[in-house]
Each structure stands twice: as C-alpha cells, then as structure tokens.
Amino acid sequence: MGTESVDLIDAWHDLYVMLGTSSAALIGLLFIATSLHLGEVVSNPGFRVRSYNQTLYLLTLLVEATLILVPQPVSFLGAELLVLNLVGLWIALSTSYIFIYKHRDNSHRGGMKLSRAIPLSVSYLVGIAGGIALIQSSRWGMYIVTVSYNTLLVTVVLGAWSTMLGIEQRQLDVEQREKAGS
C-alpha cells in the first residue's frame, strides 16, 4: 500500500471512528425504541418495514465505517464502498417500489414515501460516485463518501423520529377514541 493511500485514509480515521460509533449507538437506540412499541410496530406493516429498513441502513453505515478504518489500498476500499452502496440503493429502491406501487394503502399508514425514498436513493448514489472516485484514487473520493454517509445518517435519524411520532400519534388517537366512547 502506497504512502498516498495511507495518508488519504489516515486523515479520515477519527471522523469515521466517530461516525461508526454513532451508527452503532443509533442501531441500539432503534432496537430499544422498537422494543418499547413492539405491538404497534408489528401491527402496522409500514412501521414494521420502516423499522427493519432503518436498521439495515444503519448497518450499511456501520459496515462502511469499518471498511474505511481497515488498512487497505484505496482502490479496494472504493470497490467495497461501490458494492455496499449498490446494495443500499437496491434496498431503498425495492422498498420504494413495493410501498409506492404495490402497497399504496400501507404508504399512508407509515410506509415509504417519496420524501424518504429520494434522500435515501440520492445518498447511496453519491456513495457509489465516491466509491468510483476512490477506485480512480481521487482525493475527492473520501469527501464524496463522507457527504453520502452524513446525508444517509441524517435521513435515517429523521425517518426513525418520524416513525416514533407516527406510533405515538396512533396511540393518542386510540386513547381519544376510547375516551370519546366512554
């Protein structure tokens, strides 16, 4: 591995230690939040799929941070990130297709919406571009990958927050109906 490869990745080491740790912590918090509302998540196909996919998205981020921290040639890292982001893009697009075209009724009950699908897909497309740039040993590759990572992280956090708000809103609606019926 050339000195340029080591210098390129070493410069990003601390950032990706922090980002990987953040992703791992968010996976744990997502598990806790889902566990606390398990009945509601299981009973709503939209919430169930969103919680599952949010976990997958966070896992792709954790794997991405791990790959970046493993000493290896930049071109190998680029190829690995290219494949990982292609997998993430496939998850986002297949979920979008299922909820937007096949199960439209579930998209109104907490499933996938274009407002979630677009940033997820764009994040993975940017990650693919970053992987390609790294394969070509471009110094811009890590900047592009970092933009992808942070955009995806923010999108997943906002999606998880939206899921929890939706669950709480449904619980409040049930309580209000029960009070009105008494």
Asked if residue 1 has pLDDT above 50, the reply is no
pLDDT tens-digit map of 122-165: 999 999 999 999 999 998 999 999 999 999 989 988 888 877 77
Residue partners of 59: CB distance under 8 A and separation at least 6: 23, 27
Tell me the percentage of the chain whose pLDDT exceeds 90: 32
DSSP class of residue 102 equals I
DSSP secondary structure, 50-101, as one string? HHHHHHHHHHHHHHHHHHHHS---HHHHHHHHHHHHHHHHHHHHHHHHIIII
C-alpha 131/C-alpha 75 separation (Å) is: 8
pLDDT tens-digit map of 73-86: 999 999 999 999 99
Which of 93-102, 123-132, 161-170 holds the top average pLDDT?
Answer: 123-132
Confidence label for 46 from pLDDT (cuts 50, 70 and 90):
confident
Which among 92, 84, 63, 90 is positioned nearest to 132, based on CA atoms? 84
Give residue 82's pLDDT.
97
Which among 122, 118, 116, 124 is positioned nearest to 86, based on CA atoms? 124
Residue partners of 103: CB distance under 8 A and separation at least 6: 45, 111
Reading the block at residue 65, the tokens are 């941070």
